[in-house]
Structure 1
Amino acid sequence: MSKVLNKNDFELKLRDMGRMYHIHHPFHIRMYQGECSKEEIQGWVANRFYYQTAIPIKDAAIMSNNPPLEDRRKWIDRIIDHDSVGGGIEAWLELGEAVGLKKEDLLSHKFVLPAVKFAVDAYVNFAKQSPWKEAAMSSLTEMFAPQIHQQRLDTWPKNYPWIEQKGLRYFQKRLSEARRDVQHGLSLTLEEFNTLQLQERACEILQFKLDILWTICDALYLAYELKRPPYFNIKDCHAQRKITSN
């Protein structure tokens, strides 16, 4: 970036970074094409749940860094979306049960891969340690999320008919929530990141978040498609993360 961009051009630049969104990862491509095994779907659901449980913690960390009252009020909605009765966490537990996983196994995170844990924890730590505006705009991968949720709603019923339909509630729920959240996060970013240095910083932060999501898929690809989970070549060391399909 050689000069400060006006709001329209800056938004276009941010949206163009969607070409690096994890919807383009080989693991996700196989998923929506119907090529994933039951174990791969279960592995994705179990590992992604660790990310889901981190979202309200991340959002609470942003609020703890003291954004203005109006921004706090909007950010509270995000926490409620995930942590309330019938919210995102419960919807993901329903998804887990729909793909044949036990609720207690999801809650214990027993199947979470080390690389997934490192990536998600890095995101939470970033939210805790960064100025609230930087942490807030890291959520802008939500610009690309409705497409990936709609893709699952469109392809899973046909490609994975063994998944109980009630398990798809999370994706339906997030279609409207993500669009609402983007309106706030994007307007904040366009308004506050208004110098060349700040706009470059915003792109770095969005790339950091894209890297986290891509890294999660890398770990899943290695463990479930290539059959090389952590310590795969050391006897008995990876057994605790092996999912047995029901």
Structure 2
Amino acid sequence: MNAQSGRKEIMEHRLRSIGAERYHDRHPFHHRLHSGQCSPDQVRAWVINRWAYQAAIPMKDAAFLSRCHDPQMRREWRSRIEDHDGDIDGGGGLRRWLKLAEAVGLDPDYVASGRGVLPATQFAVDAYIRYVRDMPLLQAVASSLTELFAPAIHERRIEGLLQHYDFADADSLSYFRKRLTEAPRDVEFGLSWVLQHADTPEKQDAACAALIFKTDVLWAQLDALWGAYVEPGRIPPGAWQPGEGLA
């Protein structure tokens, strides 16, 4: 093993260790959701608030592309926008998420409007867009590497939702099934790029800090859900109240 290969292997181990410790699959809300312990309104609150994050993804990727001078990198990255937005005729991830919203009894137009999103959720997703827009490209790419850990949580989610909830079927869970193939493709390029460009200790630390920031963004959203809709159940002004926005 040459020095460069050894450096990349050590760096990849650092990144994967961050996911093992900090990825939001460890959050108690996900354990509650996947084990069937969420009430219908808690599931709806999750769908509404997760929409804010889903809707932010193509915007943060567009912000990234606006700063990228390498045509090859733009070609590699732009599929992420298409994955979520779809095209004129076909649905992308956002439309598949609205199928889930409808399946849990919500009005898709209400969810797509963004009304009722928790303030902390909105702060978190806005911070993510700003981070990708403003930070050096290395950190912007590294912040996307939570996709390393996404397929495992999607698999557990599909299994748990199908087992415990009446709304769950192939159509309502199509977003998660599609991400089982999209996320590994995206992260293959992103991980390779980060490992290639994080070629000094300072850059390696910066890339790891970026991934930690992203795990914090995801964790903060679930903390907000837990506080508003589980314990202590304190819903802030303007956030979704059970009974609103139903189909």
TM bucket by the smaller chain?
A: over 0.9
List aligned pairs for 1:108-123, cutoff 5 A: 108-123=113-128
What runs of 5+ residues in structure 2 fail to find an aligned partner? none
The question of 1:145 aligning with 2:150 is answered: yes
Distance, in Å, in 2 between the alignment partners of 1:116 and 1:229 is 13
Alpha-carbon deviation of 1:164?
4.7
User: Who is 1:58 aligned against?
Assistant: 60
Instruction: Provide the aligned length of Structure 1 versus Structure 2.
Output: 236
Return the TM-score normalized by structure 2: 0.92
Aligned 8 A contact 2:84 2:92 in 1: yes
Instruction: Report % sequence identity.
Output: 44
Aligned residue among 127, 150, 165 for 1:160: 165
CA RMSD of aligned residues (A): 1.5
Distance, in Å, in 2 between the alignment partners of 1:181 and 1:39 is 33
List aligned pairs for 1:1-246, cutoff 5 A: 6-18=7-19, 19-84=21-86, 85-226=90-231, 227-230=233-236, 237-238=237-238, 241-244=240-243
Runs of 4+ aligned residues of structure 1 deviating over 6 Å after TM superposition are none
Amino acid at match of 1:228: R
What runs of 5+ residues in structure 1 fail to find an aligned partner? 231-236
Distance, in Å, in 2 between the alignment partners of 1:60 and 1:90 is 18
Deviates more, 1:210-219 or 1:160-169: 160-169
Distance, in Å, in 2 between the alignment partners of 1:56 and 1:137 is 16
Deviates more, 1:208-217 or 1:99-108: 99-108
Aligned 8 A contact 1:34 1:160 in 2: yes
Structure 2 residue matching 1:242: 3-state secondary structure: coil
Alpha-carbon deviation of 1:82?
0.6
Distance, in Å, in 2 between the alignment partners of 1:67 and 1:16 is 31
